[in-house]
Amino acid sequence: MIQQLWVVITALLVALLIPSLAHAAKPYGVVTVDLRPEIGEVPTHLCVVSQGQGPRTRQRLSELFLPHAGTELAQVNDLVLDPATWGSGSDERPCEAGGACLPRVELPQANVLADDLWVACTSDSLVADRSTRDPRVLVMMLEHLEGSPPLLESLKLTGGVATIGVQADLSRIVVTARSLGGHYDAHTRAFRAEEGSDHSELVALPLAPRCHGVEVELPGVRLRESDRARLQLRAHGVDLDVHTCIGPLQGSARMHVELPRAEGFGRLEVELPPIAGETPTATRFAASWDTAWPEGELRLDPHQLAFIWAPPACVWAIGTCPTATLEGGLSCEATPLADGTCQYLCPAGGDPNDAHDDEWVDVSPPVAVSFQKTDPDQRWNEILQRPGQVLSSYVDGDHIYLGAALDGWSRDVPGSRISHVELLENDGSSRRYAVADVDALRILAPGASCDPLRYRLVGDRRYQEGAAEIRDGAVDFGKVHETARLLTFNVTLAQGGGIAIMYADAPDELGRQVYFTALGQLAANFRPRDPRYARVAYELRLGGTLGQWGYFGPGSIGEPKRQLAAKLAWARLLFEPAVIVDVIPPLSFSLGVGVGGSWPINNGDVTNTGRFNWIISPSLDARVALRRWVSLVVQGRVMLREQTSVAVDIAGSDPVFGLFSNASLIGLYGLQFSF
């Protein structure tokens, strides 16, 4: 009985101890992998791949990839991790950067399929927030340098240190690790353990992120979420998605951008096209670096900057802009704004037909801006100190030119022709511009501003000083005909002579009466300002003649042809309204009718001529303007109602006189002086 009891006890002990002894005999080691990214944060998720299925590696590697049969990814033979690997939904869009930022995996050997590999995944135990924001997944291959593939029993990731339990005698086996990809570049070589003991080894694994978030500053710009849709980014020539590769835009000059790794030379280009009604400071920015990543914050330099040119008031035409060129010959694109200023983008861009539109040139301020205008050609320069600056320089004040349109002027009306316009300076000097046969003037106006210009017209008439407004870079003379003087004066001096023809039963034997006459008149001339009526003028003349008058005495009675007994000094006074019509320059005609009287100058001659006669004197003259102030006058005049005294008989010793009416036909020539 006792013997049987010992047999049972022995059997139970063997049953209990043999598994424990077998387990104790199984080799076990711990591999510690120090994950050392060259920049940025350590991985948040780790997937360890082995060629052998073990207690921990129970999932095939192929189960981690996106199903992309028939897609572009399959055509390029890329294996991309499914977002479910780090707990994200399939509808979440990562920053792809043309595929450079996608979590791709490269198989360790060309003849090995993903279905032949086993994987175990875990997340960082120190990450309190286990959301899917900013995931960083590393797919790592663990291998034995000699021996069968490692069998993973445990896996833990803590703050960038991976602790992996393997079924292996680490005292006789060298463990290697390498990256197969994910959010980090795949290694082309494996890394051995640097130190260890019989049961543990330490591997330092350098990591190169495929993409890294960089703080980017755009000088002079404030970025808001409303600007996201028009932002355009290119990193190393690859377009970046503004919705997935850019962080929140919070109204500052900085933004967080996911940049792909640069191979030898990196470059980031940012474009912010202006929108209607916006006054931009810069629209293109760029920066370059010669390492994998920029060092620290990346400040971009302007490559297309904007500025405003505020023209001088009144002397520049609103809605037009001078051409602008940056130093180096970079042309600028000008846009007139509603407030009269000009907005420039330099260098000019946006033309799809321009083969050089994609060329980006650094235009960091300070930079010299050269402006140029035409009609006449003028240049001036100013230094742009910062993007968005308002420039206001213009040509030197002594070289300001203004335009003037003359299409509303009536310059060819006979008698009211306008030949020049004279600009008057405060120092008494003047500049004269011919206006005949031109439709516009280019006027030099030194020191011009919004103050009116003083001017005076020059032509057939006399003009008062006028004031011309300056608006939109042009001189507006207004209604120039209103500066014409309505009333002028002239003096006519003429000489000539004529004959007196008697009528009303005058004796036939009377001889011809020929007299010398000198005319002098002062006239007030009124000419309408309206060009439609300005070729007709009206005059009121006051003056008269000095000349001769005669009589037939008794001594010639009985002669077959009686002659005048004497020629006496004779005066006439006339008040004469007249009308003048300018026919063709410089000829005009005048028609007047004078009324007045005539008498002998010497009172002793009254007995032979009579004391006073009321007369009517119509006249017609032709005037040829020699200068504006002097004209040649040829006049024909008739004197009516004058009488000649004739001795018709002798009664006793006293002669008997009769008075006979006559008409004098007088021709005169002389000069007329206007003032």
- Comparing 139-153, 207-221, 256-270, 513-527, the range with the smallest average pLDDT is 139-153
Choose the weakest-confidence range: 70-74, 112-116, 331-335, 346-350: 70-74
Highest mean pLDDT among 2-11, 421-430, 524-533: 524-533
Candidate ranges 81-85, 424-428, 522-526, 658-662; pick with highest mean pLDDT = 522-526
Neighbours of 183 (CB within 10 A): 27
Q: What is the DSSP letter of 624?
A: E
Verify cis geometry, omega within 30 degrees of 0, for the bond prior to 600. no
Question: Residues 6 or more apart from 65 whose CB is under 8 A from it?
Answer: 79, 80, 81, 82, 105, 114
pLDDT value at residue 9: 61
* pTM score: 0.69
Residue 70 pLDDT class (50, 70, 90 cuts): very low
| Cα end-to-end distance, the chain, whole Å | 168
Tell which residue, 315, 583, 601, 620, has the closest CA to residue 468.
315
- pLDDT score for 437: 87
* CA 669 – CA 635 distance, rounded (Å): 6
Lowest-pLDDT choice from 220-224, 276-280, 398-402, 643-647: 276-280
CB 306 within 8 A of CB 283: yes
Average pLDDT over residues 4-26: 53
- The burial class, CB within 10 Å (0-12 / 13-18 / 19+), for 296 is exposed
Asked if 237 and 97 count as a contact pair (C-beta separation under 8 A), the reply is no
**What CA–CA distance (Å, rounded) separates 575 from 592?**
10
Instruction: Return d(Cα 391, Cα 148) in angstroms, integer.
Output: 76
* Furthest-apart CA atoms within the chain: distance in Å: 226
Cα→Cα distances 304→34, 129, 330, 365, Å? 45, 42, 10, 11
pLDDT of residue 23: 44
Rounded distance between C-alpha atoms, residue 552 and residue 504, angstroms: 16
pLDDT at 282: 82
Distances (CA, A) of 250 to 225, 254, 274, 456, 500: 7, 8, 19, 63, 110
pLDDT tens profile 332-356: 999 999 899 999 999 887 554 444 4
Mean pLDDT across the chain, nearest whole number?
88
* Ramachandran area for residue 290 (φ above 0: left; ψ -120 to 50: alpha; else beta): alpha
Give, as one character, the DSSP assignment of residue 439.
S
- Is residue 2 over pLDDT 90? no
**pLDDT tens string 18-52:** 444 444 456 788 999 999 999 988 999 999 999 88
With residue 323 as reference, give the H or E element that holds it.
strand 323-326
Q: How far is the C-alpha of 518 from the C-alpha of 596, rounded, in Å?
A: 16
Report the candidate in 253, 235, 245 with the shortest Cα–Cα distance to residue 213: 245
Q: Is residue 555 helix, strand or coil? A: helix
Quick one: average pLDDT of 552-567?
A: 91
pLDDT at position 357: 52
| SS3 label, residue 481 | helix
